[in-house]
Amino acid sequence: MDDVRLVIGTEVHSGWTEIRVMRSIEAVADTFELTLTERWAESEEPRPIRAGIACELWIDDKRVVTGYVDDVAPSYDAQKHTVTVSGRSKAGDLVDCSLSGTLQWKGRTLLAIARDLAKRFGIQVSTEVGEGEAFRAEALEPGEPVWDFIEQLARRHAVRFVSQPDGNLLITRAGTGRIDTPLKLGENILRASGEFSMRERFSDYVVQAQQTGWDGNSGAASAHVIARSKDEGVARYRPTVVLADGPNTKADAKRRADWQRNTAWGRGQGLIYTVNGWRHADGLWEPNRLVPVVDPWLGIDDDRLIMSVQFMLDEQGSRTELRVMPREAADLVKLPDPKKSSEGWQ
């Protein structure tokens, strides 16, 4: 069985009886929840774990989360004691916190703005998709959650921020790396569930935005930025209008429209596969990796992108929940032609 260790300074805490660790490309902060229940031993002292303390979570020789303990919940009686410890990666502070005073940037890229904000929280930011074009002018208002501001800028460039095992952030898009171990019905898939829906899909996505005025671009040209994207898989007329966050260029608005279309399409065919253990043939399961899926019951024999990984341990043993989607759901590419698709559930 994998050895899960919560490392706090020089103290190592192991022997957890229940474990949940979630890593996802759809949430900037990774999370964990660890529970230990045991009978009192003579001269035993409570585990010195305090809420708010810095920590690292390791699975065998691999660090998976670096961040802070959010909550410690002890309970006990005369015979035994239980403690549940939960926390998040460093990016949890970006989600929770806001700043006083207005911060402004002119002609700065997403990477530069994110680095400026994240360094205040001891977080470094890197990118594997380039810096992208600079924003003309952006401002973080007093009391605005830091992550809300960063995320709306990321949507305009159609990129994602994901937590790394060391607690720092990476700007990325849909992954191209592969896990060679396939998910096969009747072999390593213990159970599967899916939700196929058209409820959140629309035939036409219209993004309306305003663009910051400058010399040569003011008045009506600045006030009306509109971009459209069409989902050919929606047969009837079902339009939706998205009011963009902050000032957008025409290119920003078009990326947002395509992102909105692809995300809704992908969420409409979400799948969760549960497999035994936490590892594939070459290591721990990881999000943002392509994995072959062979599921005759759903008519799938193709690669899927792992959107999230949840490691679990309880009385049922160790297992992993993998939430997968078509890669197009996380990337700005043309969606498959619905007339040519072999997926009967689409």
Domains detected in the chain: 4-88 (2.30.300.10), 94-172 (3.55.50.10), 183-197+268-330 (2.30.300.10), 204-261 (3.30.1920)
Give the pairing of strands 269-276 and 225-230. Answer: unpaired
- The beta-strand segments (E) located in 158-213 are 160-163, 169-172, 183-184, 189-196, 204-210
Which amino acid appears at position 232 of this protein? E
Query: Which of the pair, 300 or 45, is modelled with greater confidence?
Result: 300
Say if residue 219's pLDDT is above 60: no
What is residue 172's DSSP assignment? E
Say if residue 284's pLDDT is above 60: yes
Percentage, residues of the chain above pLDDT 90: 64
Q: Please, which pLDDT band fits residue 157 given cuts at 50, 70 and 90?
A: confident
Lowest mean pLDDT among 34-43, 65-74, 230-239, 265-274: 34-43
Q: Please, which pLDDT band fits residue 319 given cuts at 50, 70 and 90?
A: very high
Q: Please, which pLDDT band fits residue 344 given cuts at 50, 70 and 90?
A: very low
Say if residue 210's pLDDT is above 80: no
**pLDDT for position 342:** 43
**pLDDT for position 215:** 43
Query: Which of the pair, 220 or 20, is modelled with greater confidence?
Result: 20
Tens of pLDDT, residues 74-126: 888 877 888 999 999 999 999 999 999 899 999 999 999 999 999 999 999 99
Q: Please, which pLDDT band fits residue 292 given cuts at 50, 70 and 90?
A: very high
**pLDDT for position 91:** 98
**pLDDT for position 332:** 63
Average pLDDT estimate for 261-272: 87
Task: Characterize 301-338 residue by residue with b for buried, 16 or more Cβ atoms within 10 angstroms of its Cβ, and e for exposed.
Answer: eebbbbbbbbbbbeeeebbbbbbbbbbbbbbbeebbee
Report the C-alpha gap between 124 and 94 in whole angstroms: 12
- Give the tokens for residue 240: 């939706």
**pLDDT for position 275:** 97
Report the C-alpha gap between 239 and 250 in whole angstroms: 19
Q: Please, which pLDDT band fits residue 54 given cuts at 50, 70 and 90?
A: very high
Report the C-alpha gap between 85 and 69 in whole angstroms: 7
**pLDDT for position 39:** 56
Say if residue 214's pLDDT is above 50: no
Say if residue 305's pLDDT is above 50: yes
Average pLDDT estimate for 211-240: 76
